[in-house]
Amino acid sequence: MRRLVSLCLLILSLLCASAFAADAPAAPAIAASAASAPAGTSGAAMISTATAAPTAAVSAPVPNKGDTAWMMVSTLLVILMTIPGLALFYGGLVRSKNMLSVLMQVFVTFSLIIVLWFLYGYSVAFTEGNAVFGGFDRLLMKGIWDHAAGTFANAATFSKGVVIPEIVFAAFQATFAAITCTLIVGAFAERAKFSAVLAFMVLWFTFSYLPIAHMVWFWQGPDAYTGKAVVDTLNAKAGLIWQWGALDFAGGTVVHINAAIAGLVGAFMIGKRIGYGREAMAPHSLTLTMVGAALLWVGWFGFNAGSALEANGTAGLAFINTLVAAAGAVLTWSLGEALHKGKASMLGAASGAVAGLVAITPAAGNVGMGGALVMGLVAGFAGLWGVTGLKRLLGADDSLDVFGVHGVCGILGALLTGVFNSPSLGGPGYVADWVTASVVTAADYSIAAQVWTQAKAVGLTIVWSGVVSLIAYKIVDVLIGLRVTEEEEREGLDISSHGETAYSR
């Protein structure tokens, strides 16, 4: 733990020195964060940031109070889905002797990532750099607010001339980064050192989450596309996966696949729990798990619908798609269990809801309602297979089935987004020309081409996260050690790591 604290203090001092050493003020970054929108709006297949400040000759757009309020509510909803939602969902699934350890890992990881986001994360993800990494114009949120003048920088949305306060966008995206890292915790629950978890999160957040977020979601914003002469130049400044044209409305690649791969690698490297496959390791409170799943479902409306960045029809489409996909997955997961085991379980129903929510995340504003329902129905069966058949094939002790649900359904959702985005299947299509904000026609939409683009984005995310995770775990193992001792694991991490228990004896 001392080494971890020393490392964190060193990083903090270097970042502060870098931020305050810059003489020139940074250009206000104009960011955005979702992907596509139906015809009639300007949202499209990618996610974005723009850095062009308005000229003196053109009056700067003013944020709409309704859009701003919706984004603040959405941010609160994502916090709700993490703490307490995810924490309770995970906590109920472990044995009672490890309940508090899981709550602590989720709660403290969330807090750690929020701080790192403020220090450097937002800048690396959402300012201009290269196709993989952003820059450092926003270290310590520099330039996002002029306290002397009382003015705020604005962030682009997906409509020309429509902005929101950048400080609100930054807060919204901070919650995405934080929940992504907390998802990983479930894969190695009940046996990882608390200090090792935090050290890993620092490394993985910096070298996996931030570059993938930049590759998928950074671009110059719709207002920068003033004419065909600038299109190629602006596209070249965007993130690599954005340049490919991959659709990811709210984080199928950035959040779910990214975290799932990190979790799976961790499950292999840390090893199986003592007694795994021989001793009973049943969830200690499915009641808490159901409460957590319900909070996740509620919070997910902010996660998905908020990614439209405006209180508009695209947000409404993402909202109803989130509702129907999760409901469909609950039914098919329960049906699959009933057919396979003879009984449908509460754990299965709760897991089905999460499976549907994961699958619809990249597609939320990118598909029609029919497509969302189909995706949810398929996700229920796919997630059930992921935590049963696939888990046995892999042979890893993924404690809370992070890969089985988030990995399998995240990949499924990303690929099917390319199918159901098609206007011929009721999807909104994507913006084919940002100069005119015109949407691709059904005749010009190629499902095969878009699915291939989606597959490339999925493949890159898997490889990137896998390599970074492997290196990060190895570094932490050498410096700190990944796993608690056998005695500590048998006693339970609540007592051995935190000196307290979840329940009085």
Whether the Cβ atoms of residue 94 and residue 102 lie closer than 8 Å to each other: yes
> Residue range 410-414: average pLDDT?
98
Mean pLDDT of the chain: 90
Residue 34, pLDDT score: 37
Peptide bond into 84 cis (omega under 30): yes
> Residue range 451-468: average pLDDT?
98
Region of poorest pLDDT, from 13-17, 113-117, 439-443: 13-17
Report whether pLDDT(206) > 50: yes
pLDDT digits (tens, 9 = 90+) for 296-341: 999 999 999 999 999 999 999 999 999 999 999 999 999 999 999 9
Report whether pLDDT(32) > 90: no
Report whether pLDDT(286) > 80: yes
Split at pLDDT 50, 70, 90, the class of 9 is very low
Split at pLDDT 50, 70, 90, the class of 504 is confident
Residue 3, pLDDT score: 52
CA distances from 475 to 178, 196, 203, 399 (A): 22, 10, 9, 22
pLDDT digits (tens, 9 = 90+) for 164-192: 999 999 999 999 999 999 999 999 999 99
Whether the Cβ atoms of residue 34 and residue 12 lie closer than 8 Å to each other: no
Would residue 437 be called left, alpha or beta, if left means φ above 0 and alpha means ψ between -120 and 50 degrees?
A: left
pLDDT digits (tens, 9 = 90+) for 71-83: 999 999 999 999 9
The two tokens of residue 425 are 């299947």
What domains are there in the chain, each with its CATH number? 29-498 (1.10.3430.10)
pLDDT digits (tens, 9 = 90+) for 34-62: 333 333 332 333 333 444 444 445 678 99
CB burial of 445-476 (b: ≥16 within 10 Å; e: otherwise) equals beeeebbebbeebbebbbebbeebbbebbeeb
CA distances from 412 to 208, 227, 408 (A): 21, 36, 6
Closest CA to 92 of 83, 102, 77, 82: 102
Residue 29, pLDDT score: 34
Residue 505, pLDDT score: 64
pLDDT digits (tens, 9 = 90+) for 91-127: 999 999 999 999 999 999 999 999 999 999 999 999 9
pLDDT digits (tens, 9 = 90+) for 348-366: 999 999 999 999 999 999 9
